[in-house]
């Protein structure tokens, strides 16, 4: 799996409609130390983010969990 493959996945927005992650996210390679991320022994990916300007952390967490792109800025 490559980072761009994630953009092909769909999530639900706040209206219950499926939208591609590419509608509100992007991917890029970053040079750094080699690291292996695993969860329960399986390859995994770190997802981090922050509240967009003008939104509270609580709103970003709620909107990020529902796939709403307005309040949350996510990094993979």
Asked if the model's pLDDT at residue 63 lies above 60, the reply is: yes
Over 80: is that where the pLDDT of 6 sits?
yes
For the whole model, what pTM was predicted?
Answer: 0.43
- Work out how many domains the chain is built from and give that number: 1
Domain span at 7: 3-75
Query: Is the pLDDT assigned to residue 12 strictly greater than 60?
Result: yes
* Tens of pLDDT, residues 35-59: 777 888 888 777 777 777 887 878 7
The β-bridge partners of 19 are: 11
Q: What is the pLDDT of residues 16-29, one digit of tens each?
A: 888 888 888 888 88
What's residue 67's pLDDT?
A: 59
């Amino acid at each position: 799996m490559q980072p761009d493959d994630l953009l092909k996945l769909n999530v639900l927005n706040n209206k219950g409609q499926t939208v591609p992650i590419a509608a509100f996210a992007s991917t890029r390679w970053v040079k750094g130390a080699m690291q292996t991320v695993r969860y329960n022994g399986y390859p995994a990916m770190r997802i981090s983010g922050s509240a967009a300007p003008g939104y509270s952390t609580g709103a970003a967490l709620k909107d990020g969990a529902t796939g709403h792109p307005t309040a949350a800025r996510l990094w993979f």
